Structure 1
Amino acid sequence: MTDDDLSRQSLLELFREEAGTQTRVLSDGLLALEQRPTDAPALETCMRAAHSLKGAARIIGLQDGVDIAHLMEECFVGAQRGELTLTPAHIDVLLRGVDLLLRVGEAKRDAPVTRADIDAFVRRLSSPGSAAREQTGGDKVQAGDGVDTYAQLQAQLQAEALAQQQDAATPELSETPQTTDEPDTPHAADEDDAPPPHAATHAATHAAARHPDRMLRVRAANLDRVLGLSGEVLVESRWLKPFAASMLRMKRTQRDTSLALDALYDTLAGHLDDTALSALADVCTALHRMQHALGARIDELDHYERSSANLAQLLYDEALQCRMRPFGDATHAYPRVVRDLARSLGKRMRFEIVGTSTQVDRDILDLLDAPLGHLLRNAIDHGIETPDERLARGKPAEAIVTLEARHSAGRLLISVSDDGAGIDLDNVRASVIRRKLADAETAARLSEQELLDFLLLPGFSMREHVTDLSGRGVGLDAVHEMLKSVRGTVRIFNESGRGSRFVMQLPLTLSVVRSLLVEVGGEAYAFPLAHVRRTRELARADIDMLEGQQHFAFDGKPIGLVTAHQLLGTPTPDQARESVAVVVIGDEHETYGIAVDRLLGERMLVVQPLDSRLGKIRDIAAGALMENGDAVLIVDVDDLLRSVDKLVRGGQLDRIGRAHNVAVRQRKHVLVVEDSLTVRELERKLLEKRGYAVTVAVDGMDGWNALHNVTNGTFDLVVTDIDMPRMDGIELVTLIKRDPVFKPVPVMIVSYKDRDEDRRRGLEAGADYYLAKGSFHDEALLDAVRDLIGEANA
């Protein structure tokens, strides 16, 4: 049997494993669709399973599997589009298709799938009524554990190759180590012949000495527990340092006491008899001995503290290293897969892998398989030209695709690049317009990076027609979603005519996260630095109101400001600081500032998963321990952004003034209610320049809510317009004057309406002052405010 035959056998085995898994998914989904034919999640799951099986069958040349899976996929897509309503007859035929897919990869080939079987399947699928009257057959197949996507075929092949290498190079460690110096006996050793325990231990040690690089199989859960315990040991070891510092303070106190006692001895030397003086001298001597003994013990403690901290750090580093694997462990299958795919498309190419020794967290390495498969397939199918096209453009006939992994600035960078035609931005722009994601005018203004970002959207594809290889738009979307799940990002770089490059940026490990620590409500919280765009101390004067929401300037744009107290449900502090500590999170499309109490600095935190019995805690991803043993919660930034969006859409955002109102109550507080942005901002700036504290509202309803939301008292004055949406000024004044709590608050109406009947309506509603905007000028407004409530700081 040739090497190609062996390789094909391996791929067939992997296909059988994937078929077992994906057909179970299909069967479960079809049974669900039989009860709920329009169930969108079930349709999407079945479509993706059929799509994965189609790709897997195509990779290893099982054309029968490609045809069957493609027909099933088209059926599910038609149901998704509403072009087809799945009936029980359809479900019967589709289940027959599941049986056919299982038979395609059977090794024994007892019942091979024939073209007649496929033709019959096509007829039944096109006429499900007749199929319902036939007896559905098919072999019963016990599906084993498998993989979830086509791309994981490569990972299974790589794992198999690695296991074969290990089996050939090193012995498997059994539960009872035995020496290999003596020949095997043909009979089983009885109990009396068994080596004593110390002999077995010696044999295992001897074996370890002879095979220091041998591979051992360890359960992931056990390794995670070792890493967690080593992290706790590291935290505990650092507790000794502050304890040693407290002992030094005790030593200094004892020294001061000894000096004071010596001074007392000198003072009383001429006034006490010999007996008393001798007793005092004995006390001084005993205290000196205690001081020397304490100093010696502190030196020992200091040495132990340094040694313990060093050993704990080494233990933690080694435990962490056990989670790391070389990047090359995940790439063994790619050269063959890339070669076969290029040959099937009639393209010539050279595949290069750079950085195979780069260390990657095993969990991240496992997750990389599907994204890398999608990116490589995308490069070969979309990026690389045919040899004739390359020669016509003055390029070598053989293209180059490069997969590279490296560490940079504490992050893992993995890139897939090619020297193909690059991404045609005009085609991307046309596809954006065709799919109605933007109109022609907007699409024309999009920058190159904005256009490239469309490629990551769900369902977006450059193919107008679906093929066996691509066209569904699920590839780059899957890459983007996987990276988001591990706090990573993907960037696309393009050179028209010269190629493209996809760069994935990921954390080095999921066990440790570099975080920004903040204090909120007296508790510590951690923001993963991968999601933090910037931090700043924001002066209160720089916080503006825009359409009823607080904003501040960030890179020349207004950014919404939200309090962490409201998001995390923590109490607000009793005393306010002069400035507001802000953490800016999000991306180019969605950015917010989160106001916290204090910034505590950066830390490397060991991630401790929360107890599964707690379920998903809103806005929280995990926990960790700080150096002093205090617990800290790690914020789930994506979840936090969803919470912010929900509060914004519901108009429920608290204002910073609620949490920090102590600082502004020394000044008179004015509520300005005005729907015109220009007038509203003019009034606000005039009043603030004169020293008044100002809160603004965009209409009467917003103003009424602001009156109820203010704490530490109420407003000293309300300045309102008349014509406003949702609730006009007359209604607002009427509500204020009917409420026993707000009735004492003076109300000033500032309006363009200057007729006598308008003034009469306002004053009859309860307004204390009516100022026409026609005669409005700076001093008129300020004089009226001063007449009603006095100076700002009075």
Structure 2
Amino acid sequence: MTPDQMRDASLLELFKLEAEAQTQLLGAGLLVLEREPQHAGQLEACMRAAHSLKGAARIVGLDPGVKIAHAMEDIFVAAQEGLLTLASEHIDGLLQGADMLMQIATPVSEAAAEQQAQAVSALVARLQTLFVQGSPGLAMPTQPAAATDSEPPSVEPKSERDALDFTAHTPAQAKTAESLPASAPVQSTLAEATGEAPAEGAETGRGRVLRVSSARLDHLLDMSGKSLVEFQQTTALSQSLMRLKRTQAAASKTLDNLRESTQQSDLDPAALALLGEVRKLLGDSQQMLAEHMEAFDDFAWQGSRRTQQLYDAALESRMRPFADVLKGQARMVRDLGRSLGKQVRLDIEGESTQVDRDVLERLEAPLTHLLRNAVDHGIEDPQVRINQGKPAEGRLLLRARHHAGMLALELHDDGAGVDLQRLRTAIVARKLAPQDAVERMSEDELLAFLFLPGFSMRESVTEVSGRGVGLDAVMHEVRQLRGGVRMQQVVGGGSRFFIEVPLTLSVVRSLVVEIGGEAYAIALAHIERMIRLQPEDIVQLEGRQHFWYENRHVSLVSASQLLQKTDKRGEQTDIAVVILSDREQVYGLAVERFIGERTLVVMPLDRRLGKVRDVSAGALLDDGTPVLILDVEDLCSSIGKLLGSGSLQRVDRRERQAGAAARKRVLVVDDSLTVRELERKLLLARGYDVAVAVDGMDGWNALRAESFDLLITDIDMPRMDGIELVGLVRRDSRLQSLPVMVVSYKDRAEDRQRGLDAGADYYLAKASFHDEALLDAVQLLIGDASQ
């Protein structure tokens, strides 16, 4: 590539940057002008943007860009002078012009260039037609002459605007350009690239902008975060020095006591002298330690402040205004509304709210889903709105703010809201719940179905919606960001979506817990509550452990079993439980203890490890202890699989084992709820500890997971009958000595013999069953409940 070609490529890249900034300004201004065609400020801003793009395109030799920008500029000037009133047709053409300017800034092949030239000609003709139709008294505008290498632009301007365009990029006329306000931060880039001296004072009050790769910023943040955490270890060192100071003080006191006692005895003078010398050396060391501690405390305070400032500055370099994620969203809402025959505008509050760059990038997709959903499902047709006493134009309001260290977003539309009866019908039609259950559901419970995968209230698929992806994708993305989303609606008054996500993914507010003697962290965004349960609060139901929380049974799982760790809870009487929420599923996770809430600097795991199950990242605690941050979505998936396997460990087994000396345990296996409950209550009344299972398979899983003193089983059961269960017990080396009682409706001699041959120790027919018969048999086999 020749130097001239390199220069041209560099200029084209600069033009692309300028086009991005100016077309964003044009897009925002045109949306305002569609509502307020005579808005003087926006007309001026749009005219200046088009004017700047025309001059920039002329410098880099993009004649199509000059033509389009000139045609757009003519329309803006005519509107400023009151000769033309902007209508929707003008806005459509001008927006298309802004889009075409961005396309021109991107190099294309020769074949594509020919098609692009045809499109440019058609667009320029359309803009000129709109100009004439909107202002009949005006003649067709004349396009500026093309700038070529052989024929530079004429020095004599054809109009005042051409004069301004020429002087803005010519050193000899730099003074004139000073009167033009800057319409974008990159306005002077092309002038700087071409070697032209900027006007005196043109950069006053504006700092230099450097382009730095995101990888460098990420590395800077990572290093500053590690420095911050590592420097916090000075707190532990300061505490150690304080303990050393107290030890020295105690040693000094002991030495003084020894000296007093020796003065009253006949101790050798040389020994007394040595004792005095030791006392002096200890005093000197105490003085030295005190001075060093004072210097260290000052160093620690200054260093802590500096590392915090360094981390804050690195973090701030990644922060971007919320407006960055909104580029093109207002335009998208407007265009989508027009394609659906609706009038919709998007209003935004809190555009300057600062958010981490990565969070912004990942928010774009869910916000787009919500905005498209609001336009398609929420906003009514103009005539319908007018009939309801609403303005024809629908309104979306997107509000962003900081709240409790999180980014809080609220999206509100003034549409029809959700038709709950249609929603009920859709739920029943998709067989997600029976009709009677749906009729009893609250509004919040009904709205939760909208977030299910594949759920849509559209009866047919369109280009906009109907495929069941949208709110489910929103929920997934927000969960990935360690955030939450919820919905409210007012029939006839619109819907509200509330989203909360962290301001940055580089730090996370977490609950640190102990599992298997090690520290683990769980993001607070996924935690509903932390509670402590007593063993009697836990209910064994169909092979699973549950507890009662907010009027529903919640499954309880041991975190140590889930992470394949050894439970080291010790002998505490209560059980620390973290209640996790994953969409509509709520689980209880039993941990060994709560360490406390911490704000952790996230440290990604080595990529060579791949995806570690149930773990998302690592971090360091204040004292330097490494901690793994759990992936709650992955964790909930693992909990679901573990619950389905049936091989669950008893969370309260230690308490049960501690109380084994007081009560013997009996497992009752029967598929009849009536028989099962009757036997359980009889045995509980006699003092036995009782667990139940609903069939042979459930009973076998319970036997493998826990210890029992007696098995009572039926014969005829689904999945695995009692004979099979007894056979498995007798073939298991750990269980073969377990006493087994069969309680069955079958009372024939061959049935009794079959049960006894399988390995049962006692056979009791249900036909002759009564309370004392069961209890006598149990006592015969294992004795009283107390050992």
Q: TM-score, normalising length from structure 2?
A: 0.72
Between structure 1 and structure 2, the one with the greater Rg is 2
| Counterpart position of 2:236 | 242
| Counterpart position of 1:264 | 258
Corresponding position: 1:560 with 2:555: yes
* Count of paired positions: 634
| Counterpart position of 1:217 | 211
Q: How does 1:82-231 map to 2 (within 5 A)?
A: 107-109=116-118, 165-168=184-187, 213-231=207-225
Q: 1:745 to 1:502 in 2, by over 3 A?
A: closer
Corresponding position: 1:497 with 2:492: yes
| Counterpart position of 1:315 | 310
Corresponding position: 1:537 with 2:532: yes
Q: 1:609 to 1:444 in 2, by over 3 A?
A: same
Tell whether the 8 Å contact from 2:528 to 2:581 is kept in structure 1 after alignment: yes
Report how far residue 402 of structure 1 moved.
0.8
Report how far residue 574 of structure 1 moved.
8.2
What RMSD over aligned residues (CA atoms) do the two structures have, in Å? Answer: 4.1
Q: Which residue of the other structure, out of 601, 607, 610, is the alignment partner of 2:602?
A: 607
Q: 1:104 to 1:721 in 2, by over 3 A?
A: farther
Unaligned ranges ≥5, structure 2: 1-18, 28-91, 101-107, 124-181
Distance 2:629 2:192 in 1: 39
Distance 1:369 1:741 in 2: 57
Corresponding position: 1:623 with 2:632: no
Distance 1:444 1:207 in 2: 68
Distance 1:683 1:411 in 2: 53
| Counterpart position of 1:697 | 693
| Counterpart position of 2:170 | none
Distance 1:509 1:631 in 2: 21
Q: Which residue of the other structure, out of 399, 402, 415, is the alignment partner of 1:404?
A: 399
| Counterpart position of 1:186 | none
Distance 1:6 1:718 in 2: 80
Q: 1:653 to 1:692 in 2, by over 3 A?
A: same
Distance 1:738 1:350 in 2: 73
Report how far residue 444 of structure 1 moved.
3.7
Q: 1:173 to 1:527 in 2, by over 3 A?
A: farther
Q: Which residue of the other structure, out of 245, 248, 272, is the alignment partner of 1:251?
A: 245
Unaligned ranges ≥5, structure 1: 12-56, 66-98, 115-162, 184-205
Distance 1:333 1:498 in 2: 26
Distance 1:615 1:452 in 2: 37
Corresponding position: 1:793 with 2:770: no
Q: 1:701 to 1:237 in 2, by over 3 A?
A: same
SS of residue matched to 2:185: helix
1:472-517 alpha-carbon deviations (Å, 9 max, x no partner): 4444343233223212332222111122222222222211111111
1:754-779 alpha-carbon deviations (Å, 9 max, x no partner): 56665555445543334444565555
1:62-114 alpha-carbon deviations (Å, 9 max, x no partner): 9xx9xxxxxxxxxxxxxxxxxxxxxxxxxxxxxxxxx99x9699533389999
Q: How does 1:346-745 map to 2 (within 5 A)?
A: 346-435=341-430, 437-438=432-433, 440-573=435-568, 575-587=570-582, 589-656=584-651, 662-666=657-661, 667-688=663-684, 690-710=686-706, 715-737=708-730, 741-745=734-738
Corresponding position: 1:293 with 2:288: yes
Distance 2:601 2:708 in 1: 47
Tell whether the 8 Å contact from 1:103 to 1:112 is kept in structure 2 after alignment: no
Distance 1:611 1:660 in 2: 40
SS of residue matched to 1:578: coil
Distance 1:321 1:524 in 2: 29
Distance 1:344 1:426 in 2: 28
| Counterpart position of 1:750 | 743
Tell whether the 8 Å contact from 2:696 to 2:718 is kept in structure 1 after alignment: yes
Q: How does 1:33-44 map to 2 (within 5 A)?
A: none
SS of residue matched to 1:167: coil
Report how far residue 633 of structure 1 moved.
0.9
Distance 1:503 1:170 in 2: 41
Tell whether the 8 Å contact from 2:557 to 2:639 is kept in structure 1 after alignment: yes
Q: 1:745 to 1:426 in 2, by over 3 A?
A: closer
Report how far residue 361 of structure 1 moved.
1.4
Q: 1:5 to 1:322 in 2, by over 3 A?
A: closer
Distance 1:415 1:674 in 2: 52
Corresponding position: 1:784 with 2:777: yes
Distance 1:408 1:106 in 2: 51
Tell whether the 8 Å contact from 1:488 to 1:506 is kept in structure 2 after alignment: yes
| Counterpart position of 2:136 | none
1:708-746 alpha-carbon deviations (Å, 9 max, x no partner): 444xxx532222223322333344345545666544332
| Counterpart position of 2:89 | none
Distance 2:502 2:114 in 1: 38
Distance 1:539 1:58 in 2: 70
Tell whether the 8 Å contact from 1:664 to 1:693 is kept in structure 2 after alignment: no
Distance 1:5 1:469 in 2: 29
Distance 2:651 2:596 in 1: 23
Distance 1:450 1:778 in 2: 45
Distance 2:552 2:93 in 1: 50
Report how far residue 273 of structure 1 moved.
5.4
One-letter code aligned to 1:423? V
Report how far residue 372 of structure 1 moved.
2.3
Distance 2:734 2:185 in 1: 80
Q: 1:420 to 1:732 in 2, by over 3 A?
A: closer
Distance 2:94 2:376 in 1: 13
One-letter code aligned to 1:537? R
Distance 1:619 1:725 in 2: 34
Tell whether the 8 Å contact from 1:171 to 1:214 is kept in structure 2 after alignment: no
SS of residue matched to 1:109: helix
SS of residue matched to 2:478: helix
Tell whether the 8 Å contact from 1:578 to 1:663 is kept in structure 2 after alignment: no
1:333-388 alpha-carbon deviations (Å, 9 max, x no partner): 33444344445555445532111122211111112223223322332333223443
Tell whether the 8 Å contact from 1:383 to 1:421 is kept in structure 2 after alignment: yes
One-letter code aligned to 1:452? L
Distance 1:463 1:348 in 2: 21
Distance 1:263 1:180 in 2: 84
Report how far residue 610 of structure 1 moved.
1.0
SS of residue matched to 2:186: helix
Q: 1:588 to 1:784 in 2, by over 3 A?
A: farther
Distance 2:634 2:191 in 1: 45
One-letter code aligned to 2:721? D
| Counterpart position of 1:88 | none
One-letter code aligned to 1:790? G
Q: 1:430 to 1:684 in 2, by over 3 A?
A: closer
